[in-house]
Amino acid sequence: MSVYRIPSFFKNKYLLTAAAFVVWMVFFDDRDVITTHFKRRMELNRLEKSKAYYEEQIRDTRKELNKLKSDAGTLEKYAREKYWMKKDNEDLFIIAN
């Protein structure tokens, strides 16, 4: 007789197959649980930062739009700076940095 006995649950082929499947899905598969979790977490953090950036840009643009709607001097300054517009009797010199 052998001193070493194999427990009966190690002889169950269905249990062994299920255990192997779980190990494969958790550690080795392309879309394993661990890697997918961390990828999704990093992507979520990146998207939250991007969302905050664009919300700030929207706030700034709305402030600028309110200034442009309320003041004609600001509108003229904006047109001259952003679109290089000029009056008929002026010359425009653009200096690149």
Per residue in 5-37, pLDDT tens? 877 877 889 999 999 999 888 888 878 878 888
Using H for helix, E for strand and C for coil, what is the string for the chain?
CCCCCCCHHHCCHHHHHHHHHHHHHHHHCCCCHHHHHHHHHHHHHHHHHHHHHHHHHHHHHHHHHHHHHHCHHHHHHHHHHHHCCCCCCCCCCCCCC
Could you read off the pLDDT of 55-97 as tens digits, one per residue?
999 999 999 999 889 988 888 888 888 888 888 888 878 788 7
- Residue of higher predicted confidence among 37 and 53: 53
pLDDT of residue 60: 96
Show me where the domains of the chain are located. Answer: 8-83
Please tell me the pTM assigned to this model: 0.55
* Per-residue confidence band for 2, with pLDDT thresholds at 50, 70 and 90: low
